[in-house]
């Protein structure tokens, strides 16, 4: 089942998030090249150092996360609301804080969940970038960006204003995770298609339902991926220094969209082919019943009329009466069968 966030319901929103405790992590790379984690109290001084690089990671943000977004970073209320509440579609916004431009991007990662039925799930990741920092806000583990951003900060070689470059790194890691998930879904679709057998309808119900759920999830993925592709295009326009890098990410996103389209078409073809084979089998059964009714119906009618309405049936007293009557019925049944066969109904 496609779920843009997943998990239990967030109070007041009606939208689901994952359970767990709030976690705040701040990773700092100083101008000297030292990398260490710092506390909330040290964050203000670190932000003032324009030659430092910071990654602020807010997992399942609540009071502490909101206080950092509002009080320490000074983000406007609308941006804080976008970070705290689940969004249904990717989004990008450019705004100013103290006369300096900031960037907000809502993107998504993909998870393949194998339960009773395989499903795709989107995991929202909000990114807020300043000159020397990147804030990531998420409601569940996103190992793609965790490893990429920590590795990038530790290895150094960042530009003078690393905030937007870290946005590119995060988006690149998220989009790189789309194709492996879609490949896994394509393999599962092939397995489900092989399980469809019109001769075993009851056993095929689970596989058919699985394909229908996959088709729905792939359609939802495509809708989000196309919107995210447009976000990448817009981000390239507002960040010319990243345009070349973002173009590569956009190509990867387009490839994921094409993969989703191809898998969805395959799933739709498998569902349609199964339904056609099942309908053909049902039609064959109905045709056979119709043929039997056409052959036996007149015989039953004649036998019923004569047996129920006549006291003396002609020939009933003769020793040849019954054999002649049965022979006439057999001849009629044979003639009817020949006629139906000639018309292609038998």
Short-list 80, 83, 239, 98, CA closest to 161: 239
CATH value at residue 51? 3.30.460.20
Same-domain status, 305 and 221: no
Domain count, the chain: 2
Domain boundary among 254, 277, 300: 277
Asked, for residue 3, whether it belongs to a domain, the answer is no
- The two beta strands, 133-138 and 118-129, are antiparallel
Alpha helices for the chain (secondary structure H):
40-48, 63-67, 77-84, 143-155, 163-176, 178-195, 201-238, 243-309, 321-342
User: What CA–CA distances, in Å, run from 304 to 2, 317, 324, 329?
Assistant: 61, 19, 17, 13
Per-residue pLDDT of the chain (346 residues), as tens digits, is: 334 444 333 333 333 444 578 899 999 998 888 999 999 889 988 998 888 899 999 999 999 999 999 999 999 999 999 999 999 899 999 998 878 899 999 999 999 988 788 888 899 999 999 999 999 999 888 988 999 999 999 987 888 889 899 999 999 999 999 999 999 999 999 998 888 887 777 778 888 899 999 999 999 999 999 999 999 999 999 988 888 889 999 999 999 999 999 999 999 999 998 888 887 777 777 777 777 777 777 777 777 766 666 666 666 666 676 677 777 778 877 777 777 777 776 6
Task: Identify whether the C-beta of residue 115 lies closer than 8 Å to the C-beta of residue 250.
Answer: no
DSSP-assigned states of every residue in 80-118: HHHHHS--SS-EEEEEEETTEEEEEEEEEEEEEEESSSE
* Distance, CA of 55 to CA of 132 (rounded, Å): 9
Same-domain status, 24 and 74: yes
Same-domain status, 125 and 42: yes
Asked, for residue 2, whether it belongs to a domain, the answer is no
Expressed as residue numbers, the domain containing 282 is 278-342
> Which residues lie below 8 Å from residue 290, measured CB to CB, with a gap of 6+?
345
Same-domain status, 301 and 273: no
Same-domain status, 253 and 301: no
Domain boundary among 249, 277, 305: 277
């Amino acid at each position: 089942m496609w779920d843009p966030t997943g998990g239990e319901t967030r109070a007041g929103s009606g939208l689901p998030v994952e359970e767990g405790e709030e976690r705040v992590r701040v990773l700092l790379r100083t101008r000297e090249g030292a990398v260490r984690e710092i506390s909330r109290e040290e964050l203000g001084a670190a932000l003032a150092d324009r030659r430092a690089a910071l990654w602020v990671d807010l997992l399942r943000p609540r009071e502490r996360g909101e206080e950092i977004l509002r009080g320490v970073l000074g983000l406007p209320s609308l941006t804080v609301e976008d970070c705290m509440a689940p969004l249904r579609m990717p989004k990008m916004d450019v705004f100013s804080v103290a006369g300096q431009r900031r960037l907000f991007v809502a993107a998504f990662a993909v998870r393949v969940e194998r339960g009773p039925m395989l499903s795709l799930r989107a995991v929202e990741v909000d990114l807020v970038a300043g000159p020397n920092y990147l804030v990531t806000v998420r409601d569940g583990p996103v190992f793609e960006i965790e490893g990429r951003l920590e590795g990038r900060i530790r290895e150094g070689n960042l530009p003078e204003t690393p905030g937007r470059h870290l946005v590119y790194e995060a988006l690149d890691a998220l989009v790189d995770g789309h194709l492996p998930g879609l490949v896994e879904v394509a393999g599962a679709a092939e397995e489900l298609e092989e399980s469809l057998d019109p001769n075993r309808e009851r056993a095929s119900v689970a596989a058919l339902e699985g394909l229908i759920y996959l088709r729905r999830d792939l359609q939802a993925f495509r809708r989000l991926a196309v919107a995210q592709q447009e976000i990448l295009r817009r981000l390239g326009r507002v960040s010319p220094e990243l345009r070349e890098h973002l173009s590569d990410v956009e190509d990867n996103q387009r490839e994921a969209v094409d993969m989703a389209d191809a898998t969805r078409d395959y799933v739709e073809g498998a569902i349609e082919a199964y339904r056609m084979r099942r309908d053909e089998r049902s039609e064959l059964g109905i045709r056979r019943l119709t043929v039997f009714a056409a052959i036996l119906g007149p015989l039953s009618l004649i036998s019923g009329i004569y047996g129920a309405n006549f006291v003396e049936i002609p020939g009933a007293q003769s020793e040849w009466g019954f054999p002649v009557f049965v022979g006439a019925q057999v001849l009629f049944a044979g003639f009817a069968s020949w006629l139906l066969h000639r018309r292609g109904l038998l």
